Amino acid sequence: MQIRRIFTVILLCCVYTLTNAQGIVNDGARIVTINTPYIYIQGDYTHLGNAGILTDGQIQLEGDWINNGNNTVFETPNSHGAVVFLGTGTQLISGSHSTSFENITLNKTGDVYLTQDAYLYYNLTMTSGQFDLKANHIELGQNANVVSESNTNRIKSTDGSGIDGNGTGTIYTIRDNPSGNIANMGLTVNLTGNNITVARGHRVQAGTGSFTANNSVLRYFEISPYANNGGGQNITFNTCFTAELNGHDPTKLIMYQWYELYNSGDEYWHPLPDNLSGQALPISKTLDNGTLNYIRLTLGSEVKPLPVEMISTNASCEDNIRTISWSTASEQNSSSFDILASLDGQQYFKLGNVPAKGNASNVSKYFFTDDSWYDNQTIYYQINQLDLNGKTVAYYTKANPCAESEETSIELLTNPAKNEVWFEVKTNQSGQFGYQILSDLGQLITKGHFDAQKGIQNIKIDSQHLSNGLYLFLISNKQISESFKVIVSQ
């Protein structure tokens, strides 16, 4: 059945009305249905040219929705008009042009595939069947919601081979000051700001550090823009269906936050505080301060933890004694660290072993002293992280010849910090150091000084008067000037 562009097709009645078609190619006609009639199409609906649909009824469709026209199809959208996908087998939302739907209802067996981006003014109702985003995106309008989603009738994302969790598509909405369970997508927030995008995806998230082989559940959320990783915001992860668990224990779920510490460039999955033992949904957590301008969250578990992440390695030499130091951002089931050395960066031999914290959600610092026979040479070090399950990941650093080592050095020990910020100061002569604390906008907050004795000591600078946020600490004397970005989280 083909509708030419010279016609306007109007269904106007006060009683129940049915129009039945094998398939429609609409090459420019205007279809108008009012007083809630419906059109039943056993085949495809193909939209061409400048055609339009004005409806407060249903278009019931057993075939594909194909928009090859020049517009988004529906005129004067209202909450009553809907495209209902029926029947068995796979149906597509496709074409060369995006469609802005009024409502979409799945009432079928099989999947509806999204092969073209789409917009939805009102509800996506999951009566029966699954909505596969594939690699495309559907935007939900200000009044749109996901309705009646369940374990068997859900939104998912597959790849070209049909593997669940491998597709990159998302369902998202853009709102001002988003609050509550946004669009009923399963995440409860209370955020401030305009034009904030809240997106839900179903691509599996890979673990970081020595847990790259481990994976998250088949659901994640991303919120942007939002400063400082959304630090201090309380967020509730409400729902993860059984079909999305991806092998995780539903009673031992852990919320993870994608995280960067003080602009280090190192990003990793960070288990949120007091969350290492795992629990059942819903899970409510307060986000930690970081330096990313967005929030990304997912779930893992004790069965398949996501991170044990090394964030820094360093080696220094003083008086022919080399100190190897390293930090981890978080640990799960970590056993110990083997320390190995090499003269050429190729052949390594073991120097010793340092026990690990095992499980930690905050930054942990480690040190190992090498006082072996190497004099004025560059030494390469390998730090092997060992897990309780037998996995090993290697990290590398090196120490320059001792003759090239700095006489004075300053190292930040606590980050994030609360009431006090601690530094390790090494100096070859006693004297006074000055410091300044600046806001992340460069405004001077306070300044002061401290005395350091010859040798190595830990120095604290008071930070209890600072509100939560990112600060720049400048420390200097006649020999050295260093700057450190510090996150204060009271």
Q: In what order do the strands lie in the sheet with 208-209?
A: 208-209, 307-318, 321-330, 364-370
| The pLDDT of residue 66 | 97
Q: Which residue bears the tokens 């559907």?
A: 138
The answer to whether residues 337 and 236 belong to one domain is: no
- Torsion angle in degrees (nearest 10) through CA of 3, 112, 80, 15: 60
The answer to whether residues 347 and 424 belong to one domain is: no
The answer to whether residues 249 and 319 belong to one domain is: no
| Residue 450 CA: distances (Å) to CA of 130, 423, 436, 447, 479 | 65, 12, 11, 11, 15
- Residue 68: give the domain boundaries: 2-301
End position of a domain, from candidates 335, 369, 404: 404
* Three-point CA angle 296, 170, 134, nearest 5°: 135
When divided into structural domains, the chain yields a total of 3
The answer to whether residues 25 and 152 belong to one domain is: yes
End position of a domain, from candidates 389, 404, 419: 404
Instruction: With CA atoms as reference, report the closest residue to 130 among 116, 110, 144, 146.
Output: 110
155, exposed or middle or buried, with CB in 10 Å at 0-12, 13-18, 19+?
Answer: buried
Residues with Cβ < 8 Å from 311, sequence gap 6 or more?
261, 264, 266, 268, 327, 328, 329, 363
What tokens does 56 get? 């407060």
The answer to whether residues 229 and 314 belong to one domain is: no
The answer to whether residues 234 and 383 belong to one domain is: no
- CA 253, 254, 257, 260 torsion: positive or negative? negative
What tokens does 442 get? 């460069």
The answer to whether residues 247 and 387 belong to one domain is: no
The answer to whether residues 461 and 312 belong to one domain is: no
Q: What is the pLDDT of residues 404-429, one digit of tens each?
A: 445 678 888 888 888 889 898 888 77
What tokens does 450 get? 């401290």
Instruction: With CA atoms as reference, report the closest residue to 136 among 195, 199, 185, 77.
Output: 199
Q: Which residue bears the tokens 């992440």?
A: 309
- Torsion angle in degrees (nearest 10) through CA of 265, 167, 196, 118: 150
The answer to whether residues 258 and 155 belong to one domain is: yes
End position of a domain, from candidates 366, 384, 404: 404
Give the integer Cα–Cα distance in Å for 115 and 86. 18
Are 132 and 158 in contact, with CB atoms under 8 Å apart?
A: yes
Q: Give me the CATH number covering residue 391.
A: 2.60.40.10
Q: Give me the CATH number covering residue 429.
A: 2.60.40.1930
Task: Chunk the chain into consecutive blocks of 10 residues (it has 490) and report each block's average pLDDT, rounded to whole numbers.
Answer: 42 40 82 84 94 93 96 94 94 97 97 97 98 97 97 96 94 97 98 96 82 84 94 95 94 88 69 72 91 93 63 69 78 82 78 85 81 69 76 67 64 86 85 84 80 85 86 80 80
| The pLDDT of residue 404 | 45
Give the integer Cα–Cα distance in Å for 134 and 129. 15
3-state secondary structure (DSSP) of residue 397:
strand
The answer to whether residues 319 and 339 belong to one domain is: yes
The answer to whether residues 180 and 317 belong to one domain is: no
The answer to whether residues 460 and 332 belong to one domain is: no
